[in-house]
A = this chain, B = another copy of it.
Amino acid sequence: MNCNKEKTVAKSIIAARGGMTLLSRDEVNKMLEMGTGSVHALFRKCCLAVLNCDAKEDDAMAVLSRYPDFDVKLLPRERGIHLEFVNAPSQAFVDGKMISGIRDSIFSVLRDIIYQSSEHNDGNFDETTQSGITNMVFEMLRRGEVHQFGKTPNLVVCWGGHSINKVEYQYTKNVGYQLGLRGADICTGCGTGAMKGPMKGASVGHAKQRIYDGRYIGLTEPGIIAAEAPNPIVNKLVIMPDIEKRLEAFVRLGHGIIVFPGGVGTAEEILYLIGLLSHPDNKDNPYPFIMTGPKEAEEYFRQIDAFIRFALGDEVASLYEIIIDDPEKVAIKMVDGLERVKTYRSDKQISYYFDWDLEIDKGFQFPFVPTHENMLNLNLSQDQPVNILAADLRKVFSGIVAGNVKEFGRKQIQEHGVYKIVGNKELMNRLDTLLESFIDQKRMKLPGTEYTPVFEVVQ
């Protein structure tokens, strides 16, 4: 599994399988038109990320710069579209032939990028309305063929950091193994760490149980695919258009969610889910939600729990369960929860394949832009419904993530100094303490770098 990063395969042609063998002339023409424009640039970038599968680094730009001569072209053929690669990373090939799983991922990329670009132009989905967005999310997943007819609810979404330590990584594998033994399928955000561990564990569990059709669904988006390339276990890959649609895909497609340790980004996801599940319309929806980690992660979850209870009240704590260092218990609880999901959906005649009934607030479907003004204007008053407060608290974490690592956020900080976050004294103290503890636990940055805070809590 050793990769010589600069070694390339000069020329290689692969043939489509499945749906991509059957395209209309219009669809083929649209693809061929990609030759020069921005869609082609995007496609090239995503292909390179997928082909560069086993590489260690997560800097998309760096990857691209190391393969300046890489290119990909479309060729229409009598049995469907073919792709020609020029100077592609050699680790994607065995004896000059592209690895089948990588080929499948490449065609998932092609499918999603083409359809997104074509549908955007055709105006098939109204992305300005909530139902338009939800329909688009559904359509992307349906095209990705992530559903499996005849199965009852068994899809567990796993969230968590992708640069976790070895003990935590092994723990995610153990949980995945216990889930796999019990027939659960896994959905994560691609990439490594807590995204890969549960799939790897589940694949061993499936093998022991002679389950040959296990699903390892990866949901990613163009902005992140280069940094978090699909790990080789992923057998269903969908590239969602943006972060918000990806989150919506997770919660409507999955039947339960497990959160492993992570950084402030994981905290953001936790608040997203709490905000969602605490919406009054969702209160009967039995959504299994478990936070878990090894002994070492106990403090992390304890602090998050304490903060949530203070900020949003003890009732919201009933939405989740924290289980420390017990993979088997996590799996048993999750499988019990899936049973309740099945009963609920069956009684209420909600699709097993996509939870149309889950109410997602506008504040969660439309992106939050972390300008200083927007950060300052967040309403962190406790005199409002918990789901509304949760939404704005999530934006706090979202802004901090942006300020830490995203291009836009870092530029804001450079120009205007640290973000100011306003709220009542006690809540702000607690928030400050939580964020300080993340810094202490080295969860704000990759190990080995010093963290400089990008925010200031103002009372």
Other-chain contact of A232, B100, B135, B208 (Cβ < 8 Å): B208
Of A16-24, A409-417, A432-440, the one with at least 4 CB within 8 A of chain B: A16-24
Given contacts A100-B208, A209-B101, A232-B204, contact A1 B174 (CB under 8 A): yes
Q: When the two chains form their complex, are residues A22 and B147 in contact, meaning their CB atoms are under 8 A apart?
A: yes
Of A35-43, A274-282, A312-320, A348-356, the one with at least 4 CB within 8 A of chain B: A348-356
Instruction: State in angstroms the CA–CA spacing of A212 and B138 once bound together.
Output: 29
A95, CB-defined interface residue at 8 Å: yes
Question: Which residues in B have their C-beta under 8 angstroms from that of A139?
Answer: 24
Q: When the two chains form their complex, are residues B135 and A25 in contact, meaning their CB atoms are under 8 A apart?
A: yes
Given contacts A22-B142, A24-B139, A95-B182, contact A78 B350 (CB under 8 A): yes
- Write 28 A-B pairs (CB below 8 A) sorted by A numbering: A1-B177, A21-B353, A22-B142, A22-B353, A24-B135, A24-B139, A25-B131, A25-B134, A25-B138, A26-B131, A76-B349, A78-B345, A78-B350, A78-B351, A79-B351, A80-B351, A94-B209, A95-B182, A95-B332, A99-B181, A99-B209, A101-B208, A101-B210, A102-B208, A104-B210, A204-B232, A207-B232, A212-B212
Question: Which residues in B have their C-beta under 8 angstroms from that of A350?
Answer: 78
Given contacts A209-B99, A232-B204, contact A24 B174 (CB under 8 A): no
Question: Which residues in B have their C-beta under 8 angstroms from that of A349?
Answer: 76-78
Other contacts beyond A1-B174, A101-B209, A122-B124: 5, CB < 8 A: A24-B135, A25-B131, A25-B134, A100-B210, A207-B233
Question: Which residues in B have their C-beta under 8 angstroms from that of A235?
Answer: 210
Instruction: State in angstroms the CA–CA spacing of A95 and B329 once bound together.
Output: 11
**A324 vs chain B, min Cβ distance (A):** 15
Chain A residues numbered 195-251 whose CB sits less than 8 Å from any CB in chain B: 203-204, 207-212, 232-233, 235
Given contacts A94-B182, A208-B101, A209-B101, contact A24 B138 (CB under 8 A): yes
A346, CB-defined interface residue at 8 Å: yes
Instruction: State in angstroms the CA–CA spacing of A232 and B78 once bound together.
Output: 32
Instruction: State in angstroms the CA–CA spacing of A335 and B22 once bound together.
Output: 24
Q: Which residue of B lies closest to A356 (CB)?
A: B25
Question: Which residues in B have their C-beta under 8 angstroms from that of A209?
Answer: 94, 99-101
Question: Which residues in B have their C-beta under 8 angstroms from that of A77?
Answer: 349
